[in-house]
Structure 1
């Protein structure tokens, strides 16, 4: 039975609850490493909403490990595949993409709290240490063909279920050996598939699924358009911890998005809008930080205006397979403002850069839906965002985000007039495999004045 509480009892309970809330807030974003030989290595767990959760190893790399290890005033390396034991808590984070300069991995790009399709065997981990690179012999990147004799060296895939997949092995010094899994991405996997004339890379697994062998090469860095792996660069490392193997899965059928530079140049313009008009966009964090500070401090914030650089981004699939989101349908997020589901957290990025290449403004678009907006003659549209439909971009169809749509802009309210660089990139972190990544980004010149903006001289390249 319930009983009436005295004012004093209510105050005691309120203080008790507040202490609990304060404690949870104090632990928010805390990191701990579990399963390692000491507190500086292990699977990564982060505290959020009052409980600990694991981090999935999808997209997990050394940049993210660097952010985690900075917590302990160290640098570090990424581990994959639950190297320190299977995840013992739910996954809080997935598809984490860091630049390496963030103060916390919660400031990195990720799929959203609790949004994950990962198994317990996919926990991300780190090995933190004091040195920038353990036992460095040659810290300078060098081309592989400068270090080994390519004429007497071979490449193969081993341990796969067919000839299109396996761990990557190099024949060197009369023995076959593997490549250390540090920073292995679809860019490096693409170079391997091109080298072996096996088409294009559809996956770049970083696990021992395909077995293991002695490590003979480490620190491979490719651009993704190489036809020969030996024209990639690498760092000659010494006694490096290599927690797994590099693998490749190749295919002859893959999507290929090509960004339309002319659409960007012809549509770019400035538009002043009140915050009252942008309330839905504010929910998606589409404005710069100062807008949210105004919202907190100014009771009449709705009447304040923001200056937006609006533009159209059109991506045509010129490949030979559909471009599909990597998240399964049950993990798509419903957006009440837009009345449809979004299938990707990061499909495109928009950056304004100064003459030193420093970002002075960026698009903060929270998530995206993919659909066939326009198709070439004779091609029927297949994908639509409406009514919980399947999402993607068909071959010879374009996904178009037009300039008048919410968040299809960069908030330049706080940017001084002058000359800048403007970069738009789709599939910026190569989360979805494509035939080529060198037509995914448009790098342009931007002239910003008090009254107008001009975007010109756009050229295609890699994000």
Structure 2
């Protein structure tokens, strides 16, 4: 609702300006009307220019503080969920500096609403607003969860702020497995608790830094407890001495000892003091499977004029060059973008429903498309060159998670009509057809050639699943002057 109110305020302000300067006054001649219209257009351009601007608040200087971003006519804070150095780099490059991330409202509690949450940046974005996040104003964060940065010249970065790359080895290569065990402790039942490892007569906890559903999945399989419903970094289940850090799993391991780690025994562990890695296991979860055939059969190129893409531009569904054209070319509406369109179909092959991770009251309303986004990033689309560098990208918000098609004998449950509940039932598919807005990658700036194309659903594992190695399709893309072919798709992890 905050987003809607801010948008309405901005529109009302513009209408007041139009009324004040008298653009539509009958007493004006054409020259005067044109001059005043140009003045209003200048104000609109300024508003668009300010959107996405960054400022740092509460720090000892202008290069350090909590991050605030300007959107829809007001400043708002950024939540520290998923906040890392890649995001900090995007902020600090505004000042031509590098930087590191801070968490937990280090520079004071947030005094404004949160505009952004769950920000995930690759590190090459030109603006924080180009990173993936849950949607403007869609946040469940408290005032003590503000994200911050410390920006500095590269030569000024102190050693304790540099993340040193440690050697990573599989646990089974360094532990005597005959005397090593794993357990959950401190839970209310056998399916939850902090994760503890037993070695040489001592039980110890795992550092929670970087602890995700991939690592938690390995723990639940290891203990024959099914699948990971939650991967927690907490002291809720108590704590014990941390003896293992830097655990990193692919998510398909049958036990935790097949995962990599950085340190065992005496370890360093950043983050909240007393917090350890914990899990909640379950035997019932959804499991999305991408339909690779639908992607290959539906792929094609489509040239579209930009005046037809204004709603899509509001949701950042075009490449950066489109927004530069919008800022600098007064006739930008008549420019053309080339879109690689395709259909993405996801079958829920699990034994539980796939539901959005945000409660319904936090779904984001998008005025232009007139629909709610239950997950701001349900899918990502990437094109990489031969070196693996990402050269084009897209994303799809879940403006409607519903049962489009179900297997015989299965009744559809979820429909998005009239602000209905969203989800994907067991043995039903959610289908985003190629003719839907933003179901594309903008390839206008790409040269003809051979590329790698990747589609991923639930790409950041925000919703727990039975497995994740069927959530992405990695394909070959042949891009020609007049056509495109996607082929050879294989399922893998996002």
Q: 1:145 aligns with which of 147, 150, 172?
A: 172
Post-superposition shift, 1:363?
1.2
Aligned to 1:3: none
RMSD: 3.3
* TM-score, normalised by the number of residues in structure 2: 0.79
Aligned to 2:355: 324
CA contact (8 A) 1:333 1:343 kept: yes
Q: For the structure 1 residues 83 and 149, does the alpha-carbon distance in structure 2 shift closer, same or farther, using more than 3 Å as the test?
A: farther
Structure 1 residue 289 and structure 2 residue 320: aligned?
A: yes
Hey, what's the Cα distance between the residues in 2 that align with 1:72 and 1:295?
25
Q: 2:476 aligns with which of 421, 441, 445?
A: 445
Structure 1 residue 422 and structure 2 residue 453: aligned?
A: yes
Aligned to 2:68: 46
Matches within 5 A, 1:26-41: 28-32=53-57
Hey, what's the Cα distance between the residues in 2 that align with 1:377 and 1:349?
30
Hey, what's the Cα distance between the residues in 2 that align with 1:312 and 1:132?
47
Hey, what's the Cα distance between the residues in 2 that align with 1:302 and 1:68?
30
Residues 266-287 of structure 1 deviation map (CA, whole Å, 9 limit, x = unaligned): 1101112222332332232222
Matches within 5 A, 1:54-93: 54-60=77-83, 63-64=86-87, 90-93=113-116
Structure 1 residue 458 and structure 2 residue 489: aligned?
A: yes
Q: 2:290 aligns with which of 249, 259, 263?
A: 259
Hey, what's the Cα distance between the residues in 2 that align with 1:178 and 1:83?
26
Q: 1:219 aligns with which of 242, 246, 252?
A: 246
Aligned to 1:159: 186
Q: For the structure 1 residues 95 and 300, does the alpha-carbon distance in structure 2 shift closer, same or farther, using more than 3 Å as the test?
A: same
Hey, what's the Cα distance between the residues in 2 that align with 1:393 and 1:321?
9
Aligned to 2:416: 385
Extract unaligned runs of 5+ from structure 2: 1-42, 152-156
Hey, what's the Cα distance between the residues in 1 that align with 2:175 and 2:195?
16
Extract unaligned runs of 5+ from structure 1: 1-17
Aligned to 2:154: none
Aligned to 2:373: 342
Post-superposition shift, 1:104?
6.3
* TM-score, normalised by the number of residues in structure 1: 0.84
Which shows bigger deviation, 154-163 or 436-445? 154-163
Aligned to 1:190: 217
CA contact (8 A) 1:221 1:232 kept: yes
Secondary structure in structure 2 of the residue aligned to 1:139 = coil
Residues 203-239 of structure 1 deviation map (CA, whole Å, 9 limit, x = unaligned): 1111212111111010000011111101000112854
Aligned to 2:159: 131
Hey, what's the Cα distance between the residues in 1 that align with 2:236 and 2:149?
20
Secondary structure in structure 2 of the residue aligned to 1:276 = helix
Which shows bigger deviation, 147-156 or 218-227? 147-156
Q: For the structure 1 residues 66 and 28, does the alpha-carbon distance in structure 2 shift closer, same or farther, using more than 3 Å as the test?
A: closer
Hey, what's the Cα distance between the residues in 2 that align with 1:412 and 1:433?
32
Q: For the structure 1 residues 47 and 66, does the alpha-carbon distance in structure 2 shift closer, same or farther, using more than 3 Å as the test?
A: closer
Count residues in correspondence: 438
Aligned to 2:11: none
Q: For the structure 1 residues 127 and 287, does the alpha-carbon distance in structure 2 shift closer, same or farther, using more than 3 Å as the test?
A: closer
Aligned to 1:15: none
Secondary structure in structure 2 of the residue aligned to 1:290 = helix
Hey, what's the Cα distance between the residues in 2 that align with 1:86 and 1:304?
45
Hey, what's the Cα distance between the residues in 2 that align with 1:420 and 1:320?
36
